[in-house]
């Protein structure tokens, strides 16, 4: 039996009226920044903070390390079979909060990660290695299926910062987040394969948006020029949306 069949998916409800309207006059876009732990997502996002029409939504790791005084990230690393389900619910909630933040007209929302990488990389890894109990996985999957069907999560571009696991391991070591001190290279290798399967090889179903792959083995400082060009593309690309809206207003 497929996991997805264990708990039946809910009946889809029609999109809300205002969501329909927003879609027809879309003047904003959402960009996801994805890639392995330590590949440089936060550094990449920081670069875009200087643009007034870009809203940068960094991953709220601080919230995950203090849930009413409990460090959920640390608990997950110390005892994944016990805590990974709770932790992944927390991650998914954080991501959904970011996906659903109201958009500003003529702006770009850039998010570190998404509900998609939580599902297709981290939860998938926990399942493939039988770390998360089946019942936990089934409930989490049912919840993700419900979101897929009922929430209007729009994405326009995925930037995949692709770095080799060894480079990520070095960066994790340098930044020294205490919870990650025991992260083994095998874990990074497994996540690397899962990111590739999802974003390069289309093994996890239809992608929500086109993927732009950046070789992140080079330090992002060395990629400055490439990122500069990319930022112009991302920002200028809003113009067609603006034209569409003007057309509709006529
Ligand atoms: P990342 O989401 O990869 O963020 P990062 O800040 O480490 O990446 P970068 O250096 O590129 O900015 O991981 C944050 C931590 O949360 C990491 O220890 C892995 C963990 N995590 C999960 O366990 N499950 C998840 O679904 C996600 C998104 C993160
Ligand atoms: Mg980060």
CA of 182 to the centre of ligand 2 (A): 18
Could you tell me which residues come within 8 angstroms of residue 204 by beta carbon, excluding any fewer than 6 positions away? 120, 124, 197, 198
Q: What tokens does 209 get?
A: 């948006």
Active site residue 112: yes
Ligand nearest to the backbone CA of 64: 1
* pTM across the whole model: 0.86
* Residue whose CB lies within 8 A of the most ligand 1 atoms, among 34, 35, 36, 37, for a mutation test: 37
The closest-lying atom of ligand 1 relative to the alpha carbon of residue 183 is 18
Please give the chain's pLDDT, 250 residues, in tens.
444 444 444 444 454 444 444 444 567 889 999 999 999 999 999 988 988 889 999 999 999 999 999 999 999 999 999 999 999 999 999 999 999 998 888 889 999 999 999 999 999 999 999 999 999 999 999 999 999 999 989 899 999 999 999 999 999 999 999 999 999 999 999 999 999 999 999 999 999 999 999 999 988 778 778 888 887 777 666 545 444 444 443 4
Q: What tokens does 219 get?
A: 């330090």
The closest-lying atom of ligand 1 relative to the alpha carbon of residue 36 is 3
- Residues for the chain: how many in total? 250
């Amino acid at each position: 039996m497929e996991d997805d069949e264990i708990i039946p998916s809910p009946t889809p409800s029609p999109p809300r009226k205002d969501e329909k309207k927003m879609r027809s006059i879309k003047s904003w876009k959402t960009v996801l920044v994805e890639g392995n732990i330590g590949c440089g997502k936060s550094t990449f996002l920081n670069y875009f903070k200087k643009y007034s029409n870009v809203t940068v939504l960094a991953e709220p790791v601080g919230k995950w390390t203090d849930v009413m005084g409990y460090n959920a990230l640390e608990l997950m690393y110390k005892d994944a079979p016990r805590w990974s389900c709770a932790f992944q619910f927390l991650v998914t909630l954080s991501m959904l909060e970011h996906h659903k933040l109201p958009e500003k007209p003529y702006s770009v929302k850039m998010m570190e990660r998404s509900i998609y990488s939580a599902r297709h990389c981290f939860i998938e890894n926990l399942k493939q290695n039988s770390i998360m109990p089946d019942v936990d996985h089934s409930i989490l999957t049912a919840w993700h299926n419900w979101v897929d069907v009922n929430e209007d999560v729009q994405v326009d571009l995925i930037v995949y910062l692709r770095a080799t696991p060894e480079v990520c391991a070095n960066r994790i070591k340098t930044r020294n987040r205490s919870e990650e001190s025991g992260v083994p290279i095998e874990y990074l290798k497994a996540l690397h394969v899962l990111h590739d399967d999802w974003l390069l090889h289309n093994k996890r179903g239809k992608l929500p948006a086109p993927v732009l792959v950046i070789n992140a083995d080079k330090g992002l400082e060395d990629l400055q020029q490439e990122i500069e060009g990319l930022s112009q593309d991302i920002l200028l690309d809003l113009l067609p949306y603006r034209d569409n809206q003007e057309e509709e207003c006529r």
